[in-house]
Amino acid sequence: MSSNDDFIQIIDDDEPLQTSSSRELPPWKILVVDDDEGVHSVTKLALKNLTILDRPLSLYHCYSVKETKEILQHNRDFAVILLDVVMETDDAGLQMVSYIRKEMQMEECRIILRTGQPGYAPELSIFNEYDINDYRTKAELTRNRLITSITAALRSYRQINTISENRRGLELIINATSYLMDRTAIRSFSQGVLTQLASLLNFPQNGIVCVQRGFPDAANPDGLFVAGAAGELSSLITHPIEDMHDTEARAAIEESIKKRHHIYGEDYCVIYLQSSDNEGAVYINTQHIPSEDDQRILEVFAANITACFNNVNMVERLNFAAYNDPLTLLPNRTRFIIELDHYANMAVPDKLVALIDISHFADLNEGLGIDAGNSMLMEFSKRLKSNLGEQCYIARLGADVFGIIGSETFLNPENLNVILSKPFQIQGMEIPVRTNIGLCRLTGNQVAGLTLLKHANIALTQAKQSNSSRFEYYAEEMEGNTRWRLNVIRRLHEDFDSRKLQLWYQPQIDLRNGKVWGLEALLRWPDAEQGFIQPPSTFIPLAEYSGLIIPIGDWVIEKACEDYAELKSLPDSPEYISVNVSIPQFRSSGFVGKVKDSLYRHQLEPNSLVLELTESLSIDDQSSVIDTLKDLQNAGIATSIDDFGTGYSSLSYLKDLPISCLKIDQAFVKDIRKEGEIFVGGDFADTILTLGNKMDLKVVAEGVETVEQMQYLRSIGCEIIQGFLYAKPMPMVELVKWLEHWNMEKGSDQYDWVI
Ligand code: C2E
Ligand code: CA
Ligand code: CA
């Protein structure tokens, strides 16, 4: 009788090991390799309808080495391979083992060698080297023995599989802590948890969801979010729990978190997770009540992963901090650049990046305190989010600069104006906010995110400097301009440090008596020759922009006081010295104190100093402006509104400013001329003078170049005149000579026309 016949005889053995189960787990895949057709059919019969370790069996059959190799190319997940030792050759089966373990690197599947001839047993070392589970002669393998052998192999396979699944899960968890990318940390942590659980307890991965309280950047920071999910449910990742269709599962998760304990339902369980400052839950669709053993494992597991959960949450927070602004919770500059990078090569004709800068934010911070500043930023970010949040990507890039990416339908001056024009409610006050906005189109010219941001920033800078427009679109020409400006600022810095700046003076004449009423100090930046590197109208705005105006302005006041003190020792010296003060300088902390110090150092009466401020000052944060003006007034220092009439302050507001002087801008003087016997072009000057008189202010007209202009101004009652008609601004040495000459000659016939 052949060995095959022996094999058939075993069929009537005792009852097979069989467990029943309600769970529908996938079958164990078993590969039968034998060149004998009979062995295949006997094996099939022996294993028919069997369930081992809760799972049915699924048999695959191969008749040759070639066939086996083919099937292994597509199926690597065999749990057990029943392998005939002798096939085409005496050791074909052993070579096959080597192929499976070494070439195919299938380490988990269990191998049972079978042979018809007892003499062909492989060397013992081969068992170890190739991790062979069992070696049997076919004669030995009764049905029952076969099943026992397969069961042992499957149990072993399951263990090995669990270990390696665990290892995979563990790797995911470990990796999670080293990731520093958006959201990946908690996501891969959850994925690790899911893999571990599924393999630990043999649950289908499909029914597992890991939920965490609040993704930190979510609109609802306390809500529950799906942090991880497997299979079909993975589309839910990052979604709020409300998006879960399975309402029973949802309710179970919510209950577990509410009650802070695990729940074991009929066909599910929820493991509650808690870390020092967060909580979560893992929902598992077990399809049956977990056994007590399983429950114990679950609990141990939950305790173990809590530590990881803690870590991951910390990493997540670090991660969040790396990409988000902690105050507004908006994405930060780094994140914004990454977002912009998406558009590097993408021409999106309709899309723009916009930078919005809140004007004078620092003053609000200084004037009303950091809390007010913070709530301003919060309100601002809320305003942006509620109006543009759905359609645009919004970030906070710096202290008072917000970045937005979106379509032109939303990011256009009109719409932004509408959104930002309403005042903001800050600590019970209504505070209007002025903004400057730089826009840059996303043209997709292979421009990296950072460059796009730079472009938008160039446009923003331009908008800040433009008097006429608070919006600018980036254009390539602007770049050269920027480089030029930075260069000027750098040189100005150097020259100021090496004391190359000078203060020149222009006299102001009192038409009532021909005396020099005052002097206006004007800054000069001389070059090595007789000229100037840049006129003040160019370099002062740059100094303001760069902040350099503060030290320069301090120096101007100090120098003017010093020079004026020197002039005071001369006979008939002017009564006043006027100094121009920039708005940032006026608002800088300690400004009034510094002015008083300069006066004190040079033993000057405070009321000989007039500070000229531009009219735009009055549209800024009014209360802090008035406070500073009052401080000056209390110190006896006079203030003057320069270039009056060119700004756009409301007269009603101006009326309340504690100032003592108005300067009619030269724009309203230059058109004054005589046509026949009649003066024309002086209406504005006339109006300003009337206004000044009504408000009891001294009125100075500047830019007076012609006798006619002077005559007209005198005819309407303007008393103080400044302009080229009398003198151009000049350095101190020249001024001293000029003053001497003027005082000597002013009564003479030569100067008749003067008054
Ligand atoms: P501003 O305060 O309006 O100064 C008057 C400007 O008019 C001066 O220009 C002066 O040279 C010029 N000017 C005087 N008389 C006449 C005239 O009859 N005809 C014409 N066409 N121009 C006349 P400058 O010196 O070029 O200064 C330009 C601006 O730069 C000043 O305008 C002022 O706003 C600013 N500035 C000058 N020095 C300082 C300073 O020390 N600090 C600050 N913050 N700004 C200054
Ligand atoms: Ca001035
Ligand atoms: Ca002026």
Is the per-residue pLDDT at 593 higher than 70?
A: yes
Q: Is the CB of 613 under 6 A from ligand 1?
A: no
- Counted domains in the chain: 4
Answer whether residue 739 is part of any domain: no
Query: Which residue's CA is the nearest one to ligand 1's atom 17?
Result: 703
At 112 the three-state DSSP class reads: strand
Compute the distance from residue 543 Cα to the ligand 3 centre, in Å.
18
- Judge if 56 and 95 occupy the same domain: yes
Give, for ligand 1, the residue of 505, 519, 522, 525 to mutate: max count of ligand atoms closer than 8 Å to Cβ: 522
| 132 and 212 fall within a common domain | no
pLDDT computed for residue 631 by the predictor: 95
Residue 157 or residue 597, greater confidence = 597
CATH at 587:
3.20.20.450
Place of tokens 């390799």: 33
At 670, is the secondary structure helix, strand, or coil?
coil
Ligand 1 atom closest to the Cα of residue 535 is: 26
What one-character-per-residue DSSP string does 261-319 give? S-EE-SS-EEEEEE-SS-EEEEEE--SSPPPHHHHHHHHHHHHHHHHHHHHHHHHHHHH
**Residue 643 beta carbon below 6 angstroms from any ligand 1 atom:** yes
* C-beta contacts of 166-170 below 8 A and 24+ residues apart: 166/196, 166/199, 166/200, 168/192, 168/195, 169/193, 169/194, 169/195, 169/196, 169/199, 170/196
CA–centroid distance, 522 to ligand 1, in Å, is 6
Task: Tell me which residue has tokens 């005082």.
Answer: 743
Whether 394 contacts 388, CB under 8 Å: yes
* Residue 743 covered by a domain: no
**Residue from 425, 426, 459, 427 nearest 441 by CA:** 459
What are 515-530's pLDDT values in tens digits?
999 999 999 999 888 8
**Residue with CA nearest ligand 1 atom 42:** 580
Query: For the chain, percent helix, then strand, then coil, each to nearest 5?
Result: 50, 20, 30
Cβ of 109 below 6 Å from ligand 1: no
Ranges 41-50, 134-143, 227-236, 390-399: which has the least confidence: 227-236
The phi and psi torsions of 528 (rounded to 5 degrees) equal: -65, -30
Atom of ligand 1 nearest to the CA of 612: 2
The verdict on residue 26 lying in a domain is yes
Average pLDDT over residues 419-448: 85
**Confidence band for 636, pLDDT divided at 50, 70 and 90:** very high
Q: DSSP 3-state assignment of 184?
A: helix
CA 643 to ligand 2 centroid distance, Å:
7
290-303 pLDDT, tens digit per residue, is: 776 667 666 656 65
CATH number, domain of 282, equals 3.30.450.40
> Residue 741 belongs to what H/E stretch?
helix 732-745
Per-residue pLDDT at 707: 94
CB-CB neighbours of 744 under 10 Å: 10
Under a CB-based contact definition with an 8 Å cutoff, are residues 273 and 173 in contact? no
Question: Does some domain include residue 740?
Answer: no
What would the two tokens of residue 84 be? Answer: 């005939």
- Answer yes or no: do 614 and 543 share one domain: yes
Q: Which 8-state DSSP code applies to residue 252?
A: H
Task: Tell me how far the alpha carbon of residue 617 lies from the centroid of ligand 3, in angstroms.
Answer: 14
User: 128 and 267, same structural domain?
Assistant: no
pLDDT score of 276: 61
Mean pLDDT of the chain: 81
pLDDT of residue 21: 39
Domain that holds residue 635: 498-566+576-732
* pTM of the predicted model as reported, rounded to 2 decimal places: 0.48
Q: For residue 729, give the ligand 1 atom closest to its CA.
A: 11
Q: How far apart are CA 59 and CA 68, in angstroms?
A: 13
Pick the residue whose CA is nearest to atom 10 on ligand 1.
729
Q: Are residues 360 and 424 in the same domain?
A: yes
Same domain flag for 158 and 183: no
Length of the chain as a residue count: 755
Which residue has a Cα nearest atom 19 of ligand 1? Answer: 703
Identify whether 593 is part of a domain: yes
Cα 742 from chain centre: 63
Among protein residues, the one whose CA lies closest to atom 37 of ligand 1:
522
Nearest Cα to 587, choosing from 645, 556, 547, 528? 547
Residue 702 CA: nearest ligand 1 atom is 15
> Do 47 and 136 reside in the same domain of the chain?
yes
- Ligand 1 site-directed mutation target among 532, 580, 708, most atoms within 8 Å of CB: 580
pLDDT band, very low/low/confident/very high, at 7 (cuts 50, 70, 90): very low
For 25-153, where are the E strands, in sequence order? 28-33, 51-52, 55-62, 80-84, 110-115, 134-137
661 within domain boundaries? yes
| Nearest one of 33, 41, 44 to 81, comparing CA atoms | 33
Residue 22: helix, strand or coil by DSSP? Answer: coil
Residues 340 and 319 in one domain: no
Atom from ligand 1 closest to the CA of residue 705: 18
Reported as half-sphere exposure (CB side, CA atoms, 13 A), residue 487 has a value of: 8
Q: Over range 625-637, report the average pLDDT.
A: 93
pLDDT of residue 410: 93
Is the model more confident about 624 or about 66? 66
Picking from 265, 292, 323, the residue at the C-terminal end of a domain is 323
CATH number of the domain bearing residue 402:
3.30.70.270
Residue minimizing CA distance to atom 11 of ligand 1? 729
For the chain, how many helices (H) and strands (E)?
Answer: 24, 29
Residue 193 has pLDDT above 70, yes or no: no
Mean per-residue pLDDT, 121-146: 70
Residue 704 in contact with ligand 1 by CB distance below 6 A:
yes
Q: What is the model's pLDDT at position 496?
A: 96
Q: How far apart are CA 19 and CA 659, in angstroms?
A: 99
Tell me: the pLDDT tens digits for 140-186? 677 888 888 888 888 888 877 766 665 555 454 444 333 323 334 56
**553: CA distance to ligand 2 center in Å?**
13
Query: 3-state SS of 426-454?
Result: ECCEEECCCEEEEEEECCCCCCCHHHHHH
Looking at the fold, whether 610 and 700 belong to one and the same domain comes out as: yes
Pairing of strands 609-614, 638-644: parallel
Do 337 and 318 belong together in one domain?
no
How much distance in Å is there from the Cα of 481 to the middle of ligand 1? 24
Burial of residue 384, with CB atoms counted within 10 A of its CB: 0-12 exposed, 13-18 middle, 19 or more buried: buried
Considering only CA atoms, which of 301, 213, 219 is closest in space to residue 257? 213
Cβ-contact 83, 72 below 8 angstroms: no
Least confident range of 298-307, 363-372, 597-606, 655-664: 298-307
Residue whose CA lies nearest to ligand 1 atom number 13: 703
Q: What is the pLDDT of residues 326-363, one digit of tens each?
A: 788 898 888 888 888 887 767 677 889 999 999 888 87
- pLDDT of res. 114: 82
| CA atoms 325, 322, 337, 489: torsion sign | positive
497 versus 572: the higher-pLDDT residue is 497
Output the six-digit token pair for 673.
């001329």
Distance CA 637, CA 600 (A): 12
| Ligand whose nearest atom lies closest to the CA of 506 | 1
Report which of residues 267 and 346 the model is more confident about: 267
Contacts of 5 (CB under 8 A, 6+ apart): none
- Cβ–ligand 1 distance for 640 under 6 Å, the answer no
Closest CA to 611 of 650, 664, 567, 557: 557
Nearest-10 Cα torsion for 492, 495, 499, 503 = -50
* H/E stretch holding 209: strand 208-213
- Kindly identify the ligand whose nearest atom is closest to the C-alpha of 646: 3
> Is residue 363 within 6 Å of ligand 1 at its C-beta?
no
Q: What is the number of the ligand 1 atom nearest to the C-alpha of 523?
A: 38
Neighbours of ion ligand 2 (CB under 5 A): 580, 612, 642
CATH number for 25 = 3.40.50.2300
Residue 411 lies in a domain: yes
Mean pLDDT of 460-486: 80
- Looking at residue 328, its amino acid is T
Residue after which a domain boundary falls, among 132, 163, 194: 163
pLDDT in tens, 500-554: 999 999 999 999 989 999 999 999 999 888 888 889 988 998 898 788 999 999 9
The answer on 112 and 201 residing in a single domain is no
Long-range contacts of 288-294 (CB under 8 A, 24+ apart): 288/22, 288/23, 289/264, 289/265, 290/201, 290/264, 294/201
Which amino acid appears at position 472 of this protein?
A: E
Looking at residue 583, its pLDDT comes to 86
Determine the average pLDDT of the residues in 460-473: 82
Query: Of 275, 295, 323, which one is at a domain's C-terminal end?
Result: 323
In a domain, 470, yes or no: yes
Same domain assignment for residues 470 and 613: no
